[in-house]
Structure 1
Amino acid sequence: MILEVCCGNIESVKGAIEGGADRIELCRDLELDGLTPHREMIREAVRLCRPAGVVVHVLIRSREGHFVYTDAEVVEMAGEIRMAVAEGVDGVVVGALTADGDIDLDACRRWVEAVGPTDGHRCRNITFHRAFDVCRHPLEAMEQIAQVGCNRILTSGQQPTAEAGIPLLRQMVGKAHELSATMGRPFTILCGAGVTPENAAHILKATGATEIHGSLRTGLVSDAEKIRTVKTACR
């Protein structure tokens, strides 16, 4: 089981490390559902996480609101990706839709290109974020996301919480196994939204997933004790 903790500040990063998180998703302005963190924040998170063996993924989202981006916004986020990669992150988290609710493949390709070659490079992960949860035709969209170069989808199964989304998440995990076999590389489903110490193990067992995502906060800071509880419950 891999536990990813969403961290909106450096104190949360410290809590995630203390609690034994496997990976963090770093962002800022969680009240806006997360935006691209500043360079200094990324640098400090990498500095703290690297010695602890905690993987650092960075959310790339230039503004709040919907996931239909202009060409200028796509270019801006490509620059943010290059900045994050230069700071030594292990992965980036992106997502874009067309006005019709389909995956914006052109934007995703440009962002994958901005990450650069993975061979011999530390940044090897590209996660498609919860824009997926408002897309049309989710199983078809999975194939497109995999083919464009992403290797993970963060999703609640198109429901308000991952627990409510278990039926679709179970289907998605099965399809992810098929895509992994077809492509010859791992493609995974990361279950997120409304994850708590009380329901994390149930979500994983009911879906067959091996990765789960939550902020696990008390107030504005990720709670090391809640993180430890989830890790213990999901062993």
Structure 2
Amino acid sequence: MLLKEACLENFTDLPQAIHHGANRIELCDNLAVGGTTPSKGVIAEAAKYCHENKVPLIVLIRPRSGNYVYTDTEIKIMEADIFEAQALGADGISFGALTPDNDLDLEVMEQLSAAAGGMQLVLHMAFDEMNFDQQKQAIDWAVNTGFERILTHGGPLSTSIDQTSAHLKELVAYAAGRISILPGGGITAANAEAIATDLGVSQVHGSKIVDLTAE
């Protein structure tokens, strides 16, 4: 069965998303800018509802919009948000930090991974800022560090997933079952099954991954 991870802004649509078949939730705020960390109150209520319905909750850890090169203060904020997400019952976190030349910032990533204390770890679409050689190294690092999956569009979000599917297949092939490649961006309830079959993946991600208007 295809696992559908619904990317939701705030708590508002969460009950409907689960009712219509979302198997996992990624919770964020400010989707218009690609998502930022949601508030403590939203995380607490979402975790309670998700757990009542046996659906895992992943919380986006991103202190602001823009690039993924963070200052020391921003890293402290992210670390504090990870501690809070865990205390409030989140099952995992989605995050990413890069160096100025768009390579994975291993020092920051290791610090934040350690703060997660056993929660599921997801490398988010900061991954798409890297070139293919950097991505392969990031996959190897994520495997060795215990990450569950990598969320990727396979290219810039301004490019349709039809055009990035060839690269997504390269990533799936390189990961070779060691870590899940989670495609996202432009995947909807209407095309999820076809895209998953084409890419050979068992899970997909999106803000429209389930039809919230269905009965």
Alignment partner, residue 61 of structure 2: 60
Alignment partner, residue 189 of structure 2: 197
The 2-side partners of 1:210 and 1:176 are apart by: 14
Q: Name the TM-score, length of structure 1 as normaliser.
A: 0.84
User: Is contact 1:103–1:144 with CA below 8 Å preserved after alignment?
Assistant: no
Q: Aligned in 2, Cα 1:25/1:10: closer, same or farther, shift over 3 Å?
A: same
User: Is contact 1:132–1:158 with CA below 8 Å preserved after alignment?
Assistant: no
Q: Aligned in 2, Cα 1:162/1:146: closer, same or farther, shift over 3 Å?
A: farther
The 2-side partners of 1:165 and 1:103 are apart by: 21
The 2-side partners of 1:20 and 1:205 are apart by: 18
Deviation string, structure 1 residues 78-125 (Cα, Å, up to 9, x no partner): 110010001111110000111011011111101111011x3xxxx2x1
The 2-side partners of 1:212 and 1:95 are apart by: 19
User: Is contact 2:189–2:211 with CA below 8 Å preserved after alignment?
Assistant: no
Alignment partner, residue 164 of structure 1: 163
Alignment partner, residue 130 of structure 2: 135
Q: Name the TM-score, length of structure 2 as normaliser.
A: 0.91
Note the aligned Cα RMSD (angstroms): 1.7
Query: Aligned with 1:81: secondary structure?
Result: helix
Deviation string, structure 1 residues 114-148 (Cα, Å, up to 9, x no partner): 011x3xxxx2x110000111112222322123233
The 2-side partners of 1:208 and 1:48 are apart by: 31
Deviation string, structure 1 residues 159-182 (Cα, Å, up to 9, x no partner): 43433211111121122225x2xx
Q: How much has 1:225 moved relative to structure 2? A: 4.4
Q: How much has 1:51 moved relative to structure 2? A: 1.3
Mapping of residues 148-163 of structure 1, within 5 Å: 148-159=145-156, 160-163=159-162
Mapping of residues 2-151 of structure 1, within 5 Å: 2-116=3-117, 118=118, 123=119, 125-136=120-131, 137=133, 138-151=135-148
Unaligned runs of 5+ in 1: 181-186, 229-235
Residue type at the aligned position of 2:212:
A
Unaligned runs of 5+ in 2: none
The 2-side partners of 1:195 and 1:148 are apart by: 28
User: Is contact 1:161–1:192 with CA below 8 Å preserved after alignment?
Assistant: no
User: Is contact 1:12–1:223 with CA below 8 Å preserved after alignment?
Assistant: no
Mapping of residues 215-226 of structure 1, within 5 Å: 215-216=207-208, 223-225=211-213
